[in-house]
Structure 1
Amino acid sequence: MDLTTVWFLLIAVLFTGYFILEGFDFGVGALLPVLGRDDRERRVLINTIGPVWDGNEVWLITAAGALFAAFPEWYATLLSGFYLPFLLILVALIGRGVAFEYRHKRPDARWKQRWDAVITAGSVIPAVGWGIIFANIVRGVPLDANHDYTGGLTDLLNPYALLGGATTAALFLTHGAVFLALKTNGDIRTRAGNLAARITPAALALSAAFLTWTLTQRHTPTAVALAVAAALALTGAFAATLVRREGWAFAGTATAIGLTVATLFAALHPNVLPSTTDPAGTLTVLNAASNPYTLKIMTWVAVIFTPVVLAYQGWTYWVFRRRISVTNIPH
């Protein structure tokens, strides 16, 4: 396996990890006004992700850095052509991070409500936006022979991409509800489990429709197998939710999200950004990659530091593994 393929797989792994980990805290933020009936309950919801949400975003920073270094042509075309969606996601993530830090700075209820609204919006916008972006990456966009994006915003808001946005939003909502059932006690745990049982069928239907449409455009045996496995994992998560096995349900939703992302990358390879207008404009793992020397240095850096990062993040989750409830939140 050549280094261009290795780094394509590593970037796929980084985005998969990001969607699995950030997916549940997007879901928690989006469900804040639904499951948080008062300020104490909303504080419980926020505290379930408080120790880990910023660490989860490191996966995105690492993925973006790896994309820039390993495939600079892909990075340049993607960020220039998808400028507005990326900008909206970035503003939403910044606002969400500020809201987590500022909502408790004043006791005023209206102050907290405003920041809670920012948390919700800052969770919903990326949940939808990432689906739209990755759907367009797989489908392809208008590129000329110089790999420059020649379309507009309306080209990105096509039916397939909008279905992708709805799919990721539904998956993250389900993932977040299951996570809350796993991490809380008392009435919140019960309500989160009931909500997860209600929305999982919708997530399954949207995922099935999106992945089927994906495979009709670009399919390989690997992509088909991954898509079927994703549907089975989400079905298993639904069954586990019904019998209140929150750990198995969370494993199921995490696996379903990971396999969905893997399906998109498997359907995309060896392209990284297809052109829908000029075939000469299509970016592949070969014409978008850095030189072999750069990829070799990056590989050694990844081999040395990746285990350290994984060990540290795993330790963080272990330390904050306990369930919490309103009894842990002072008045």
Structure 2
Amino acid sequence: MIEIILFFIAASLLLYVVLGGADYGAGILELATPRHLQERQRQLINEAMGPVWEANHMWLVIIVVILFVGFPGVFTLVMIHLHIPVVALLVGIVARGTAFTFRHYDAIHDAKSQNAYSWIFSLSSLWTTFWLGVIAGSLWQGGIDPTATGFMEAYVHPWIGWVPVAMGVFMVCIFSFLAAIYLVGETQDVELKAHYRRRGFIFNMAVVLSGGLVFVAAYLEQSTLLLRFLRNPFSIACVVVATLFFIILWNLLRFNRSLWVRLAAGAQVSLILFGWYFASAPTAVLTFQGDVSFFDSAAPEPALRQLTYALCVGSLLIFPSLFYLLKVFKLSGKSLQHDAAKNDGIK
């Protein structure tokens, strides 16, 4: 029963990173765009994200609900001892969503207001991504002390350290990399394609370097993260194969294989997550007192049974609906763009 629920947690996390992460990365990419490309990039991102950015947040909601219902011990540790980065994350999500909505649907479309919305959208994308990484790194820093009574010891020290910071930087690089790769296939603009291709190269290298930085930080903090990776052959294999995808991606980008390069980028990020999963499972949080596993903090059997039923039935509704959403908005949108370009050519 617990294994089925853990599968849904892993699947939701993977989909949130691969799909929602690209949305965050799109905002980050806007921070370093040449002036003459800014307006075209803004329009492209609005068209690419508009239909799906809200839907991608459901994966994070599913993870939170599963933890609340199925693993209250883990949920309590995270929400109490990491409530400061969690609040920072939520503030970023709200600011980012609000700015994107106003930018995308503002009827006035004033230049000054558009610039303000874009800056808020971009900065909050960077802010939110960084705090996602901080929260992920805090789970493995081992700084959470359930018995602490002082404010600093209980609520600040758990997320202050080199590992959370390095993980925040790593998350920024991953999301930016995904966005650059996905946007290559979203536009027919030759100049934008070349721009995103260059960004894809840069952030692919940044992913490798920042990933190494995480292990260096773990070594400096004497975290068990590095040892767990080295002791697990599956984790090592995932990291090695993910590194080999670095070469594959470069060749696919060079020959402009948009679909295959997207699949390769998603596979590379998935392998990184798989490596982390094999190294950590079934541990959910590492504390001063030791590992807190999903099995030790699980809810009573009746609650787990009902949660499993709900997830299985819900998946039968969510996945077809998501596919239909993408078919209606994304595929139809591309057909309209193709027809418009064809008409322009006739004229």
TM-score (norm 2): 0.84
Cα pair 1:211 1:227 within 8 Å, conserved: no
Q: Which has the larger radius of gyration?
A: 2
SS of 1:288 mapped into structure 2: coil
**Matched residue, 2:251:** 239
**Matched residue, 1:161:** 164
Q: CA deviation at 1:240?
A: 1.5
**Matched residue, 2:196:** 192
**Matched residue, 1:278:** 289
Deviation string 1:82-107 (CA, Å, 9 cap, x unpaired) is: 11111111111111111122122433
**Matched residue, 1:261:** 273
**Matched residue, 1:81:** 81
Aligned partners of 2:292 and 2:198: how far apart in 1? 45
Tell me how many residue pairs correspond in the alignment: 322
Q: CA deviation at 1:40?
A: 4.5
**Matched residue, 1:218:** 228
2:323 aligned partner, one-letter code: G
Q: CA deviation at 1:272?
A: 1.1
**Matched residue, 1:130:** 132
**Matched residue, 1:52:** 52
Aligned partners of 1:292 and 1:211: how far apart in 2? 37
1:15-34 to 2 correspondences below 5 Å? 15-34=13-32
Aligned partners of 2:138 and 2:70: how far apart in 1? 21
2:280 aligned partner, one-letter code: L
1:29 aligned partner, one-letter code: G
Against the structure 1 CA distance between its residues 73 and 80, is the aligned structure 2 distance closer, same or farther, given a 3 Å change threshold?
Answer: same
Aligned partners of 1:209 and 1:231: how far apart in 2? 15
Q: CA deviation at 1:140?
A: 2.3
Q: CA deviation at 1:222?
A: 2.6
1:175-186 to 2 correspondences below 5 Å? 175-186=178-189
Cα pair 1:16 1:262 within 8 Å, conserved: no
Against the structure 1 CA distance between its residues 34 and 46, is the aligned structure 2 distance closer, same or farther, given a 3 Å change threshold?
Answer: farther
Bigger proportion of residues as helix:
2
Q: CA deviation at 1:265?
A: 2.6
Deviation string 1:190-240 (CA, Å, 9 cap, x unpaired) is: 211222123321222222443685752323233222222332334422331
Match of 2:10 among 9, 12, 16: 12
Deviation string 1:163-191 (CA, Å, 9 cap, x unpaired) is: 11111111111110111111111122221
Aligned partners of 1:257 and 1:173: how far apart in 2? 12
Deviation string 1:109-141 (CA, Å, 9 cap, x unpaired) is: 111111101110221112211112112213322
1:7 aligned partner, one-letter code: I
Aligned partners of 2:307 and 2:235: how far apart in 1? 27
Cα pair 1:28 1:45 within 8 Å, conserved: yes
Structure 2 residue runs without a partner (length 5+):
219-223, 342-347
Cα pair 2:174 2:203 within 8 Å, conserved: no
Against the structure 1 CA distance between its residues 54 and 291, is the aligned structure 2 distance closer, same or farther, given a 3 Å change threshold?
Answer: same
Cα pair 2:138 2:159 within 8 Å, conserved: yes
1:247 aligned partner, one-letter code: L
SS of 2:299 mapped into structure 1: coil
User: Cα RMSD between the aligned structures?
Assistant: 2.5
**Matched residue, 1:315:** 324
Aligned partners of 2:148 and 2:38: how far apart in 1? 55
Against the structure 1 CA distance between its residues 148 and 119, is the aligned structure 2 distance closer, same or farther, given a 3 Å change threshold?
Answer: same
Identity among equivalent positions (%) equals: 18
Match of 1:207 among 208, 211, 229: 211
